[in-house]
Structure 1
């Protein structure tokens, strides 16, 4: 009898109260379930999504709406652009993108915000103006020796 990958795959899933299909097979260091299929290791959530929903468009990636990386339930996955996936997360970039005020309490408004051309991060114009004023004040206090 031929080895049906679906039988092997389904044997490694357990349903949870939250609706997740918890992967009980190998879990990679990054928290995603892995499954051997077609001669290579593949992510379990991608295998499940492809089997139920079809191919994942090349420009999109899967976002775990349940925030459980070991979940393989296609209903908990959404194909989205990389930026959307990152901004929905809880990492550093997502945290910074959700900030509404600078560390000194000034609102990030259109008028008070500029993008640093070096790295694209948001900067507060009010804080930048204050820093430049402090710098000018320090420079005025320094006397240069005559050449």
Structure 2
């Protein structure tokens, strides 16, 4: 059986550098688009291994954000340590899109006086809530008036 090659040699065999400075992983790719590397028969994300090898450890509870927005980039200088929340808000998910909105669907501002945060972290517009409640009470009055006739 041939001797195992060092991880750094195997790493560089699977990297192409593009014009933007991205180190594009051409090895195994996860369904989410991130490079994967096997170290001591244990699968690891190639971008995490690269960061830890060239820069240093990733603190517990934090994640790496691809500043270049290229998931298979393993250039450690295109990666930044952030919280999971920060990483999500920087992305293009529905949650990130909603968090960036400054006004509700009816044009009321999302500000301290007009915004209520639910325990799950979602928010609703107090002005819209007051209007909904006003319409509900009006319907109830109208229904009661019709029933009394």
The residue that corresponds to 1:122 in the other structure is 123
Gaps of 5+ in 2: none
Residue 109 of structure 1 corresponds to 111
- Please list, as runs of the form range in 1=range in 2, the aligned pairs for 1:1-147 lying within 5 A after superposition: 2-117=4-119, 119-143=120-144
- Structure 1, unmatched stretches of 5+, are none
User: Cα offset for 1:112?
Assistant: 1.1
For normalisation by structure 2, the TM-score amounts to 0.91
CA RMSD of aligned residues (A): 1.5
Give the drift of 1:86.
0.9
Compute the TM-score of the two structures, normalised by the length of structure 1.
0.93
Shift in Å, 1:70: 0.3
Change (3 A) 1:29 1:13: same
Change (3 A) 1:29 1:2: closer
SS, match of residue 75 in structure 1? helix
CA positional deviation for 1:116 = 2.1
User: What secondary structure is seen at the aligned counterpart in 2 of 1:63?
Assistant: strand
